[in-house]
Structure 1
Amino acid sequence: MAAQDIVLGVDMGTTATKVVAYTPDGRQLASASHGYPLEEPHPGHAVQDPDLILGAVYEGVRDVVAELGPDRIAGMSFSSAMHSLLALDDELQPLTPVITWADTRASAQSERLRASANGLALHRRTGTPIHPMSPLTKLMWFREQEPRIRQTAAFWVGIKDWVLLRMCGALVVDHSLASASGLMDIHTLAWDQEALGLAGIREEQLPDLVPTTTVLDGLTEEAAAATGLRTATRVVVGAGDGPLANLGVGAVRPGVAACSIGTSGALRVAVDRPAVDPRGGVFCYALTADRWVIGGAVNNGGIVLDWVRSEIADGEVPTEELLDAAATVPAGSGGLLMLPYLLSERAPHWSSVARGAYVGLTRAHRREHLVRAAVEGVALQLSLVLHSMRAAGLEIDEIRATGGVMQHPLWQQTLADALGSPVGMLEEQEGSGFGAALLGMEALGLIASIDVAADLVPVSRVIRNRPADAAVYATLRPLFDELYDALFSANARLQKLAPSLPLA
C-alpha cells in the first residue's frame, strides 16, 4: 500500500472548478479544470446550475484520480467562491439556482439596511459588509419579492455546503463561509439572531456550523463511484476562496498582505483575532480558529483596461502596446482621474450605486492618459482598501502581489507607488486551490501548521515604490475618495434612468 501523502485541493470558482493534487512539500502532481456558465437571465441576476457545479467537481476529481490512482490520496479539501445562496426543499433538493456573489438584485435592500441605525453595527458584528453580494441581503430580497420560495424552503445553504451534502451526506457550513454570509457573529461563532430576524429565517434552516479543519469521514456511494475514490476517503470541509488565497500565496502571518489583480482585485491580511475598521470599510472572514483575514475586494481590476482597450482603442491595439504608451505619461495622468466603477464597487464603500467616470478630462488628454488613468484608478481604489485596513489597527509590513495583469511593469510600479509600499512579486501558484490543500494537510496531520506556506511560496523579486510618484498618489488619494461621495447622488439618479442596461 503506497504512503498516503497527496491532498487534492478542490477550488470551486465562479466559472470553473479546478482540482489540483499536492504533496506536503508543495509539489503539484496533477490538475484538472472543468467550467460552467454564469447565467444572467434578467438584469441584476447572476446564477448557476448547482448540478453543473457538482458535475465539474466530480469530473475534476475523477481526472486527477485517474492520473495518480487512489492509493496515495490522503484526502481532499475544499475552497469555494464566497457569498452564494441556494434554497433546498425538505427532501434536500434545490428550489433555486445558485445565487452568486455577482447577483445584484438585492441592491435596494442593501442600501436600505446600510442606511439604517443598525447597519454598521451589524457589519462589525458579522464581519460581512452590507452589500448585495451578502446572503443576508439576498434573503431579505426573497422575503420581500419571493415569499412563496421563502415559505417553501426547508434549508438555505451555500454551494459548497450542498456539494459536501451530496458527497459526504453531511449538512455543514464552515466558519469561513459562514463569516461571509452576514448571518454569523464572528465574535461568538454563533448565528446572529438580529440577522436571522432580518432574513426571516430560523437557525434550524441553516447548516451546522463547523471549523474549517473539520474532517468528514467518508464519501457517499454516489461520490465514490463518480470520482474513483474509495468511500473511506477523508474530506476536509475547507474554507472560502478569499482567505484561502492568502494561504495559497504564503500571506498567512500577521503583517503580510496579499494583493491580487485579475478581472477584479483584492487586498487582504491575516490576523489572529477578528476586527473591522470603525467606518466598516473592510470585511473580516475566518480561516482557522486562530487565523482571520481582513481586507476588501474590488469589482474592477483588469476588466477596466479590457473596457478601455475595447471601447477607446477599438480593440485593435494590443494591451501591452497600450500600457507601454501609458508608461510614458507621468504619474497623475496630467490631472486626469478615472473612477473605475464599471461594475459598481465593493470595498471600501460597499455600494451598488457607484458608476465609472473620467474627471478632469480636457482636450489635451490623449489615449495614453486615459489608459494610465484607468490603471491608476484601480491602484488608488486598492489604496483606499489599504487605508481602511490600517484604520482597523492593522500593521502591514509586507505586500505580496499576484494576478494576470501584474505581468506588465506599469501595473507593478503603479501599484507599489499608489500603496506607498514595496510589492513582492510571486512565482506562479494556484492560490485558493493550494490554500485548500494546505489547510487539508494540517487537518489530516501531514504538516505541522499552515505557517509553512510562507516558505513554500517564495517572492521572486520586489518592486520598490518611487518616492516622487508615491507623493503624487498620496495627494490624489483623498480627492479620489471624495469624488465617490460627490457623485453619489448623481449616480443614484442616473441608475434610475437606466436600471436595465444590458452587459456586453
Structure 2
Amino acid sequence: MTRTDARILALDLGTSSARALVLHEADASPIPGALARHKISPTYGHDGSATLDLHEYVEGLFGCLDELQQNGHLDGIGSLVLSTQWHSIVALDNKGTARTPVITWADTRSVDLDLGTSFDEQAFHARTGTWLHRLYWTRRIPWLLASDSPAAFAGLPDLVLERLTGERVTSVSVASGTGTLDLATGAYDDEALAVAGVTADQLPAIVPTGWTGTLSKEYERRWPGLVGVPVHPPTGDGAASNVGTGGYDAGTAAVTVGTSAAVRVVHPIEYAPELPWELWRYRVDDKRAVTGMAFSAAGNLHAWLTGVLRLKSAEPLGVEIGGTHAIAIPFMAGTRPPANVPGGSGVYFGLSFDDSSADLLAAALQGASLEIDRGLRVLDELFGQKLEVVLGGGGIDASEWWRRCLTATFARPTTVCAEPEVGARGAAAVALGLSPEPGGDHLTPAADDVARIAGLRGRYEGLRELAVQASSM
C-alpha cells in the first residue's frame, strides 16, 4: 500500500463525545461513513463538580473502535493519532489505579493559594502561559492532596494512551495545558511543581513530538488491523483545531466553536512575542506554540437554548444580525482565566414582551460573537496586524446565521473551513507534518450587519462590566 493510499485512525477525546474516525493520509480528510461516536454525559454537582466516569469513557471510546472494526474500517491503517480536551486530571494510587473520576475543565473545585509577596505571577504567566487558576493542576493538585493521598496524577489522554500502549506518557502539547510546563524548555517547570506540591516523577513523562508507541498485547487480538501501527502522542484540541482549520501561521487567527469556543494563533515558540496578561499560551508540538483566548459558552450555549426554547430551527429565523434590542451576556458556564466569573452568571438585559424565542437565541449568539471578538482584537495588537480569520468546528458548521454574525462582528472577511472534524484533522497534521487548507466558503461582512453590531458594542461592553461585578457580589 502506497503512502497516498494509507489511512489514519484518529481518536477525538471530547467533553460531550468520544469519537473514532478514519482519515485519508494524503490530506487528512475523513473517509465517508468511517466514524463512530460515543455520547458523553458529564456529571455536574451543586458543589461545582464536572466529572466523567473514566471506565465508561474508555470503554465507550474502545466500543467506537469495535464498530469501525466490524465495518471493515480498520484495514490499512498507517497511523493512530489523538486529539484531546485539555486540562483534565485524575488522581492515581501507587499502582496507577484511578482514585477519582476524570475532573474536567468545567469543574470549579480547587483551593486558593497564598504564596506570599515573593511569588511573581506575571513572570509565572510569561513562563508557563497560564495563571494560578482553578483550571490548572497548580490548584487542582493541592485540592486533591488536601482530601486524599494520591501517589500520582495524569490527564484523560495520558490514561487512554496508557491503555492503548502500556506506557503512561504525555505530549508537550497536553502537558502545556496543565499549567506546569515551562514553554521555552518543554519540560516541567520547577516553580509550578513546587506550587502544586509534587515532583516531576508523579506526573506523566513528557515525550517528544516524534515519539510513537504501539498497541499493547492486550488489544492486538481485539483489533488485529492495528498491530504494529505507530501510536502518536496526543495533541491538545485547541492546538489541533487551529491546525485542522488551516490556521497555522502567525498571520491567521482560527476561531473554533465546539462545546466551548476560542480564538488562537499558531506561531513558532522561538522568538514568540511577549505574552499579554489576558491571553494564554500552550504548545502545539516541539517547535510551535498557540496563543489565544477561550470562552466557556459557545456550542453548548447554542444547543442549550435551542432545547430550552424548543426551537424547531437551530437558526434565529427572521432576526437581523445586530437587530435585537435584548443583550445577552453569555456567562452561563462562567469565564475562563484570568477572569473568575463563576458558572450560573449568564444575564439577559432589556427583555420585553415583543421578544421572541428567535430574538433570545440571536442575542445569545451575538453575545458569544462579541466575546470572541475581544480576544481577536488583543491578538491583532500582539501580532501587529489585522489577522486573517478562518472559522471551524461543529458550532460553525451548525449555523449559517452565526457564521455571518461572527464575520460582521469581526468586520473583516472570513474563510469557513469545509471540514467540520478539525480536531482530528489537526492531530493528524501535527503528527504527520501535513498542511491542510480550509477549502471552504469565503464570507464578506455585510455593511448593514457590521453597522448594527458596531452600534450595540458599547452597550454590550457596559452591561458586561455590570455582569462581572454582579458575579462577585
Match of 1:344 in 2: 334
Match of 2:139 in 1: 137
Deviations 1:416-447 (A, max 9, x none): 1111211212323311112222333x2xxxxx
The count of residues paired between Structure 1 and Structure 2 equals 467
Q: Secondary structure at the residue paired with 2:472?
A: helix
Match of 2:257 in 1: 261
Query: Are 2:402 and 1:411 equivalent residues in the alignment?
Result: yes
Match of 2:42 in 1: 38
Gaps of 5+ in 1: 443-448, 494-504
Match of 2:426 in 1: 435
Q: Secondary structure at the residue paired with 2:123?
A: helix
| 2:266 counterpart (270, 274, 277) | 270
Q: Secondary structure at the residue paired with 2:158?
A: helix
CA distance in 2, matches of 1:21, 1:305: 28
- Taking structure 2 as the reference length, what is the TM-score of the superposition? 0.88
Query: Are 2:471 and 1:491 equivalent residues in the alignment?
Result: yes
- The equivalences for 1:453-472 within 5 A come to 453-454=436-437, 457-459=438-440, 461-472=441-452
Match of 1:282 in 2: 279
Query: Are 2:369 and 1:379 equivalent residues in the alignment?
Result: yes
Q: Secondary structure at the residue paired with 2:232?
A: strand
Query: Are 2:94 and 1:80 equivalent residues in the alignment?
Result: no
CA distance in 2, matches of 1:239, 1:437: 9
CA contact (8 A) 1:348 1:384 kept: no
Query: Are 2:190 and 1:189 equivalent residues in the alignment?
Result: no
CA contact (8 A) 2:44 2:50 kept: yes
CA distance in 2, matches of 1:115, 1:450: 46
Change (3 A) 1:52 1:399: same
Deviations 1:440-478 (A, max 9, x none): 3x2xxxxxx322x12xx402x222123454345446445
Change (3 A) 1:231 1:401: same
| 2:223 counterpart (227, 239, 255) | 227
CA contact (8 A) 2:54 2:102 kept: yes
Root mean square deviation of aligned Cα = 3.0
Query: Are 2:57 and 1:67 equivalent residues in the alignment?
Result: no
CA distance in 1, matches of 2:47, 2:118: 26
Match of 2:434 in 1: 450
- Taking structure 1 as the reference length, what is the TM-score of the superposition? 0.83
Letter in 2 for 1:53: Y
Match of 1:296 in 2: 293
- The equivalences for 1:357-376 within 5 A come to 357-361=347-351, 369-376=359-366
| 1:109 counterpart (109, 112, 125) | 112
Deviations 1:209-265 (A, max 9, x none): 12233212x221113233334542211113111111112222223322221234432
Gaps of 5+ in 2: none
Which segment is superposed worse, 288-297 or 462-471? Answer: 462-471
Deviations 1:346-398 (A, max 9, x none): 26735437822233456776665544322211110010111222243364532
Letter in 2 for 1:324: L
Match of 1:323 in 2: 316
Change (3 A) 1:392 1:139: farther
CA distance in 1, matches of 2:245, 2:117: 36
CA distance in 2, matches of 1:366, 1:69: 46
Query: Are 2:9 and 1:12 equivalent residues in the alignment?
Result: no
Letter in 2 for 1:462: H
CA contact (8 A) 2:330 2:368 kept: yes
CA distance in 1, matches of 2:18, 2:356: 41
- The equivalences for 1:155-174 within 5 A come to 155-174=152-171
Q: Secondary structure at the residue paired with 1:296?
A: strand
CA contact (8 A) 1:247 1:450 kept: no
CA distance in 2, matches of 1:356, 1:114: 33
Q: Secondary structure at the residue paired with 1:392?
A: helix
Change (3 A) 1:482 1:114: farther
Match of 2:413 in 1: 422
CA distance in 1, matches of 2:275, 2:323: 30
